[in-house]
């Protein structure tokens, strides 16, 4: 009896599993809010230099009629005939009020010594307006996002290994508390440096929440229901994008918005104590008594108390020998490349995780450049996830994980590259391609979380998930930096964003299929499953060749000419040919 059969014995996909998934969904909803939060808290409003002397023209960036003349004489125009954002004249140029006067080439300007004035009609306050992250300081905005992603990366490394050592439940509870505290502190940060530190800690906590929510849901879910549970958790991230758009629309001040998406994790911390630790993890850690207690608890909630009472330590020891043996060994990140099969899995999954996150954040963190309301485009980007993930769900269930992973990545890459050939004036078509690419990448994210959890064994599952998340966060860190290559060629960022998922989609073709395959608990399980799949592939090839040979022989029977008969031989029908 395997652990999967033990899980079926205590109720399968019963009441406990439903409650477990529902409670795990709520923390995951706000993960999207934190990942995409800087689209709103770090938005760059329209701005210009503050002008000296005339205080009435420093009340708002949208000038009144009486101030326009003064501003034309104080701030130079750019190529679009609008006021420049980063410079002003050293001395007021009153002759420019004459429409026939052109600006001399040697007119001296300076870089806004009195600061900037921001348009507050859309955003009341952002970190950009708080700490003047514009003009020469504009790269600090990208730095803040990169620091956050670096925190997510460190969290994936730290919490991935710790949860394999100390359990999923304990690390999930701690991560929720850390998210509530650090996120709330970021809302009251007195300086940009303090803000970055708290965002780094929030990023670490986010990895802990995401990794352990996925593992607790997958490890308590029967094999036949894993795809459905994966779709539900994936949709929770999509719902989070709608929540972010709504909350950001209602709360225009960045500090209150930061607090609104962070403080609810205190409630998740409180009810997180109800969660049931993974019995799989207990078994592979040698804690069979705790595993028995959790299985019996689940059986009672599922209405299978009699079946739970029949379980005992002797039953678990007899039916889970490999799990008990693995408990005597210690596992580290090195075990991800311990065998040839694991090396192949880890290498291919590195490509998949990196490119999915790299291209996803390359699109999702650039909402202000679509030329429409940032709130509307956020809703559109969230809405496209619904059909994308639904289609991915059916493909996962009926055709398998491998084809879903490969197709979603390759289609995303081609959608991004397609915008190279679309004129900048065709904003609607460019938005359509971007939304299509983002939908495919969302489907890829949905698949890779499930796929990675099914490919790695229980003893190193969280380590593997953590390593995959590490590669994803490296992609998230690199993605904003790639946009700087547009200075050399406007199409170069799209080429890079599109090529990465295409290459990783090809790499995904080398991963084994996990459809209707039990979760592996030990490294030996992974190796044995690989051998079984190789034998199945060989048998399939033999059947194909035998069918081809049979068809070839049949064709020979129909196409070969009759044998030449001697003179006088009776011309009778050939029995073999007629049959």
pLDDT at position 566 is 42
**Dihedral pair phi/psi, residue 352, rounded to 5°:** -65, -50
Output DSSP code: residue 366. Answer: -
To which CATH superfamily is domain 3-43+133-521 assigned?
Answer: MFS general substrate transporter like domains (1.20.1250.20)
Which H helix or E strand runs over 359?
helix 340-364
Output DSSP code: residue 104. Answer: P
Which H helix or E strand runs over 89?
strand 88-89
> What's the Cα-to-Cα distance from 279 to each of 16, 21, 302, 575, rounded to whole Å?
13, 16, 15, 67
Kind of pairing between the strands at 47-49 and 88-89: unpaired
Shortest CA distance to 277 belongs to which of 344, 319, 220? 220
For the chain, how big is the Rg over CA atoms in Å?
Answer: 30
Cβ pair 261, 131 in contact under 8 A: no
Cβ pair 16, 87 in contact under 8 A: no
Cβ pair 208, 175 in contact under 8 A: yes
pLDDT at position 567 is 42
Taking the alpha carbons at both ends of the chain, their separation in whole angstroms is 51
Tell me the pLDDT of the chain (579 aa) as tens digits: 567 777 777 777 888 888 888 888 888 888 888 988 888 898 888 877 777 655 555 555 555 555 666 666 667 766 666 777 777 776 666 666 555 555 554 567 777 777 778 888 888 888 988 888 888 787 788 788 888 988 988 888 888 778 878 888 888 999 999 999 999 999 999 999 999 999 999 999 998 898 888 888 888 888 778 778 877 887 888 888 889 999 999 999 999 999 999 999 999 999 888 888 888 778 777 788 888 888 888 888 888 788 777 777 777 777 666 665 555 556 666 778 778 888 888 899 999 999 998 998 888 777 766 666 788 888 888 888 888 888 888 888 888 889 999 999 999 999 988 888 877 777 788 888 888 988 899 889 888 888 888 888 877 887 787 788 788 888 888 887 787 777 677 788 888 989 999 999 999 998 888 888 887 878 888 877 777 766 766 665 565 455 555 544 454 544 454 444 444 444 444 433 333
Q: How many CB atoms lie within 10 A of CB 366?
A: 16
pLDDT at position 200 is 94
pLDDT at position 96 is 60
pLDDT at position 409 is 94
């Amino acid at each position: 009896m395997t652990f999967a059969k033990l899980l079926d014995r205590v109720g399968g996909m019963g009441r406990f599993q439903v409650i477990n998934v529902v409670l795990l969904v709520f923390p995951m909803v706000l993960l999207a809010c934190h990942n995409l939060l800087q689209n709103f808290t770090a938005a760059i409003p329209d701005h210009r230099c503050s002008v000296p002397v005339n205080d009435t023209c420093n009340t708002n960036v949208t000038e009144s009629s009486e101030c326009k003349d003064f501003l034309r004489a104080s701030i130079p125009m750019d190529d679009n005939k609008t006021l420049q954002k980063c410079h002003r004249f050293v001395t007021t140029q009153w002759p420019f009020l004459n429409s026939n006067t052109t600006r001399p080439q040697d007119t001296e300007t300076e870089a806004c010594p009195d600061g900037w004035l921001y348009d507050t009609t859309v955003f009341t306050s952002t970190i950009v307006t708080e700490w003047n992250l514009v003009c020469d300081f504009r790269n600090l905005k990208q730095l803040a996002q990169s620091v956050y992603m670096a925190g997510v990366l460190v969290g994936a490394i730290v919490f991935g290994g710790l949860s394999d050592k100390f359990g999923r439940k304990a690390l999930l509870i701690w991560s929720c508390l850390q998210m509530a505290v650090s996120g709330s502190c970021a809302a009251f940060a007195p300086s940009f440096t303090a803000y970055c530190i708290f965002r780094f800690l929030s990023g670490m906590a986010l990895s802990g929440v995401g990794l352990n929510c996925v593992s607790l849901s997958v490890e308590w879910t029967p094999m036949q229901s894993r795809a459905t549970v994966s779709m539900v958790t994936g949709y929770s991230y999509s719902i989070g994008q709608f929540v972010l758009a709504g909350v950001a629309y209602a709360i225009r001040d960045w500090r209150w918005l930061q607090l609104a998406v962070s403080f609810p994790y205190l409630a998740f911390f409180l009810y997180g104590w109800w969660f049931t630790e993974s019995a799989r993890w207990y078994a592979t850690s040698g804690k069979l008594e705790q595993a028995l207690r959790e299985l019996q608890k689940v059986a009672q909630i599922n209405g299978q108390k009699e079946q739970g009472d029949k379980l005992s330590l002797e039953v678990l020891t007899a039916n889970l020998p490999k799990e008990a043996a693995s408990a005597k060994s210690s596992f580290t990140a090195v075990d991800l490349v311990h065998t040839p099969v694991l090396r192949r899995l880890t290498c291919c999954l590195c490509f998949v995780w990196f490119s999915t996150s790299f291209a996803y954040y390359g699109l999702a963190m650039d909402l202000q450049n679509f030329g429409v309301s940032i709130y509307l485009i956020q809703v559109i980007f969230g809405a496209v996830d619904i059909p994308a993930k639904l289609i991915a769900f059916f493909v996962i269930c009926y055709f398998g994980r491998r084809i879903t992973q490969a197709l979603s990545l390759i289609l995303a890459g081609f959608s991004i590259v397609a915008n190279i050939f679309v004129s900048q004036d065709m904003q609607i078509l460019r938005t359509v391609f971007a939304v299509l690419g983002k939908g495919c990448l969302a489907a890829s994210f949905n698949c890779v979380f499930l796929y990675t959890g099914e490919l790695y064994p229980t003893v190193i599952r969280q380590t593997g998930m953590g390593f995959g998340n590490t590669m994803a966060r490296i992609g998230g860190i690199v993605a904003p930096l790639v946009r700087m290559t547009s200075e050399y060629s406007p199409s170069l960022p799209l080429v890079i964003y599109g090529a990465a998922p295409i290459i990783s989609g090809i790499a995904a073709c080398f991963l084994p299929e996990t459809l209707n395959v039990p979760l592996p608990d030990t490294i030996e399980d992974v190796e044995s499953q690989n051998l079984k799949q190789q034998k199945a592939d060989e048998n399939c090839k033999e059947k194909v060749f035998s069918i081809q040979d049979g068809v070839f022989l049949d064709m020979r029977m129909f196409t070969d000419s009759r044998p030449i008969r001697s003179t006088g031989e009776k011309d009778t029908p050939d029995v073999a040919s007629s049959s």
